[in-house]
Amino acid sequence: MWSMDTRIAWRNIWRNPRRTALTLLAIAFAAGLLVFMVSLQFGSYEAMITSAVGLHTGDLQVRADGYGEDYAMHLVVADPEAVRTVLAREPEITGTTCRARGFALLASPQRTYAGMVMGVDPDGEQAVSTLSRIVRRGRFLRPDDVNTALIGEVLARNLRVNLGDEVTLLGQGRDGSIAATVLVVTGVFRSGQTELDRSTVYIPLSHFQDVFAMRGAVHEVVLRTGRLQTSSELGRRLDALVAGLDMRPLLRVRTWFELMPGLLESIQMDLASSAMFHLILIAVVTFSILNTFVMVVFERTREFGVLLAMGATRGRLIRILMRESLLVTLGGVVLGLAVGSAVTWYTQSTGIPMGDAGRLMAEYGLPERIYPRLGLLSALLGPAVVFGLTMLAALFPALRVRRLRPVAAMREG
C-alpha cells in the first residue's frame, strides 16, 4: 500500500484539482507532441533512405577503388560474375544487379545535351531497385531489348523527343575509343529528382557494354540485404571478401551511407535543427511547470512552518513535495505517451498527405504521404526528456524548504 508520505502527496495534489489538471495536461501535451513529432521525423528519414537506397545505391555496392570520385570510365569491376558468385554465398545478401555508367552527348535532330548514360540489367533492376516503378510513359527496359532507352522526363522534353523517337549517343568507351549508338526511346521516367530527370538515360547493360567497349566489365555491383539497417560491420566483412578476389582494378565495398554521405548529413542537420525546436518546446513547458511548483511552495509557507514546528524534518517535507511533482509529472507523461502513441499509431497506417509540400518532398525522392514510424526510441525519447526536466524544475522550489525557519514561516502568509 502507499506510504504515508505518498498519501499526503496524493491529497495535496487534489487540493487544487483545476491547477493540477492544467499542469498535468501541459506535460501530457508536450510529451504527446514529442512522441508524434519524433516518430514523424524518423518515419520521413526512413522514407528518404528507403527511396534513395531503392532507386540509387542499393544497400551496398561493389566498385573499383576510387570510382566514386569522378566516375572514371576505366575504373571497372572487371569480372562481375566472379563477384556475384562470391557474394551469392552470403546469406545476408538477398539480391544483386550490375550497372555501368558513362557520360555522353545525347542528341536529337533539334537539340544536343550532355547527359549520364546508365547501363542496367532489366531483370536485375526489377528484382533489386524501384527504377521500373518510376516509368511514367511507355515501358521499362526488357531483357531482349537492344538499343532501347528509358529517358528522364526533363531530358526528353529538352531534347524534344517522345516515345519511339531516336536519340544519338556519343561518348567515350572504357579504352578511350569513341562510343556511338542510336537509341530508341521506349520509356520516360520521372523520379522527382531534378538532377536525375534532367540528365539520365537508362539503356540495357548488354548494349552499354557493346557501345562503350566494356569487355564484360561493369562499374557497380548493387547489393540488397532486405534490411533497413545496413551495418558498417557487414560492409567491412564484404570488403575483405571482395578484396580476396584480387581483381584489377582493386574492388571495394561501400555502404549506402558511404555512397550518399549527403543524405546522412542532411538527416543529421534536420535532426539537429528539430532537436533545437523540441528543446524550446520543452523549455516553455518546463518553465510553466516550474512556475506552478513555485506557487505551490509559496502558498504553503505557513503550513510548512507549522509542520516544522511540530517536528517534521525538512527532508520529509522535501520528500512529500517531490512525490507530489512525481505523481503529476508521471501522470502527464503517461497520458501524453498514451495519446501521442495512439495518434501516431493511427497515422502510421493511414499516412499523412502532404498536399503542396508533398510535391516539394518529391524533389527529395519522398512519397507524397509520410508515415510516422513509432518505435521504442521515438516513443520514449521525448517523454523521457520531458520527465527529466520537469523533475529538475520541481527540485528547485522543493529545495527552498531547506531554508525555511519555522517561526518566520508561520508569520508569513
Partner 1 sequence: MPVLLLLVILVFPSFARAEPTAGELVRKGLEYWRGTTSVAEIVMTIHRPDWERSMTLKGWTRGRSDSLFTILAPPRDRGNGTLKKNRDMWTYNPKINRTIKIPPSMMAQSWMGSDFSNNDLAKSDSVLEDYTHELQAVDIRDGVRVYTVSAVPRPEAPVVWGRQELVVREDFIILEQRFYDEDGVAVKILTGSDLQIMDGRLFPRVWVMRKTEVQDEYTRMEYTSLHFGPDLPDRLFTLNALSEVAR
**112 contacts partner 1 (rule: CB under 8 A):** yes
In the complex, minimum distance from the CB of residue 101 to partner 1, in angstroms, rounded to a whole number: 16
C-beta closer to partner 1: residue 112 or 206: 112
* Shortest reach from residue 210's CB to partner 1, in Å: 11
Please, are residues 370 and 44 in contact by the beta-carbon 8 Å criterion?
Answer: yes
Answer for which of 146, 182, 269, 295 binds partner 1 (CB under 8 A) is 182
300-359 binders of partner 1 (CB under 8 A) = none
**SS3 category, 286:** helix
Is the backbone peptide bond immediately before 249 cis, with ω within 30 degrees of 0? yes
Distance set, CA 390 to CA 28, 199, 286, 355 (Å): 12, 53, 6, 36
Report residue 371 CA to chain centroid gap: 11
- The residues facing 69 across adjacent strands are none
Residue type, 159: L
Among 65, 81, 123, 175, binds partner 1 (CB under 8 A): 175
Give, for 308, the enclosing helix (H) or strand (E): helix 301-309
Among 114, 284, 309, 357, binds partner 1 (CB under 8 A): 114
State the minimum distance, in angstroms, from the CB of residue 365 to partner 1: 25
- Per CB under 8 A, the segment of 24-32, 107-115, 130-138, 373-381 that binds partner 1 is 107-115
Q: Which is nearer to partner 1, 113 or 345 (CB)?
A: 113
Ramachandran region, residue 338 (left: φ > 0; alpha: ψ -120 to 50; beta: rest): alpha
Work out which of 25, 86, 180, 327 binds partner 1, going by CB under 8 A.
Answer: 180
Q: Which residue reads 520529509 in cell numbers?
A: 316
Do the Cβ atoms of 219 and 63 come closer than 8 Å? yes
Nearer to partner 1, 114 or 127 (CB): 114
Q: Is 323 helix (H, G, I), strand (E, B) or coil?
A: helix
With CB under 8 A as the contact rule, the residue among 105, 283, 284, 295 that binds partner 1 is: 105
CB of 146 or CB of 178, closer to partner 1: 178
- Whether 119 and 151 have beta carbons less than 8 Å apart is answered as no
The nearer residue to partner 1, 111 or 411, going by C-beta atoms, is 111
Q: Which residues, in sequence order, are bridge partners of residue 118?
A: 101, 202
The answer to whether 278 and 37 are in contact (CB under 8 A) is: yes
Residue 174 vs 300, nearer CB to partner 1: 174
Give residues 64-103 in contact with partner 1 (rule: CB under 8 A).
74
Residue 113 binds partner 1, judged by CB under 8 A: yes
Residues within window 203-262 making contact with partner 1, judged by CB under 8 A: 213
Which residue is associated with the grid cell 499509431? 345
- What is the rounded CA–CA span in Å between residue 50 and residue 363? 15
Using rule CB under 8 A, residue 178 touches partner 1: yes
Is 146 an interacting residue with respect to partner 1 (CB under 8 A)?
A: no
Among 8, 25, 86, 107, binds partner 1 (CB under 8 A): 107
**Total number of residues that touch partner 1 (CB under 8 A):** 18
Residue 170 as a binder of partner 1 (CB under 8 A): the answer is: yes
CB of 144 to partner 1, least distance (A): 22
Residue 64: alpha-carbon gap to chain centroid: 28
* Binding region for partner 1 (CB under 8 A) out of 126-134, 166-174, 304-312, 380-388: 166-174
Helices 17-52 + 261-299 axis angle, to 10: 180
Instruction: Name the pairing type of β-strands 95-107 and 112-120.
Output: antiparallel
Half-sphere exposure of 169 (CA within 13 A, CB side): 32
Any contact of residue 181 with partner 1 (CB under 8 A)? yes
Output the smallest distance, CB 173 to partner 1, in A: 9
| Contact set with partner 1 (CB under 8 A) | 74, 105, 107, 111-114, 168, 170, 172, 175-178, 180-182, 213
